[in-house]
Amino acid sequence: MQVPGMTIVFYLIAVITVAGALAAMLLRNTVHCALALTVAFAGLAVQFLELDAQFAGFAQILVYIGAVAILVVFAILLTRGSETPKQGVFSRTWLAGLVIAAMVFAVLGWAVLNSTSALPSETAKPSVNVLEIGNALMGRYVLPLEIVAVLLTSALIGAVIVARHEKGSAK
């Protein structure tokens, strides 16, 4: 299916992204999974840049590769998660999970492929600079911005309280 206006870069990065996601979900060693997850995040960041959303692409790199991937590696190393369990890495009900995921993908793919006329297809390249994004964040989107600030603060405090080492409670 050759698509007009769709570059070879899209296919290349899409293959790398999907391979990273598959490796993150299939590999036995948990640390390798975290590294494959970083590849998938980087591929998605490049896709954001391809879509002319530079700010979102760099936010993706900063937040996901810079923070979330590091947090995942920390959690794996703090919990001995890198040891492969004897009874395998997949749960007993893996077949049901796989069937559910395949059905969800079938429905999504069917909906996307059968809605060619309903989907918007503007070809004009949007020119958005960081100044406009900053103005929008401080103007129209100032209330969501403040709510996200409160959410991040409470999540930070909550994560510290939850993960804090309490004396006498740990076995």
Partner 1 sequence: MGPITPLQGYLLLAAVIFAVGLAGALTRRNAILVLIGIELMLNAANLNLIAFWRYGPHPEALTGMMFAIFSIAVAAAEAAVGLGLVIHIYRFTQTTDLDQMNRMKG
Q: Minimum distance from CB of 169 to partner 1 (Å)?
A: 8
Backbone torsions φ then ψ of 68, nearest 5 degrees? -70, -40
Instruction: Tell the smallest beta-carbon distance from residue 126 to partner 1 (Å).
Output: 3
Q: How far is the CB of 120 from partner 1 (least distance, A)?
A: 5
> What single string gives the DSSP state of each residue in 3-69?
-TT--HHHHHHHHHHHHHHHHHHH-SSHHHHHHHHHHHHHHHHHHHHHTT-HHHHHHHIIIIIIIIH
Residue 36 CA to residue 20 CA, distance in Å, equals 5
CA-to-CA distance for 47 and 17, rounded, in angstroms?
A: 9
At closest approach, how far in Å is the CB of 84 from partner 1?
10
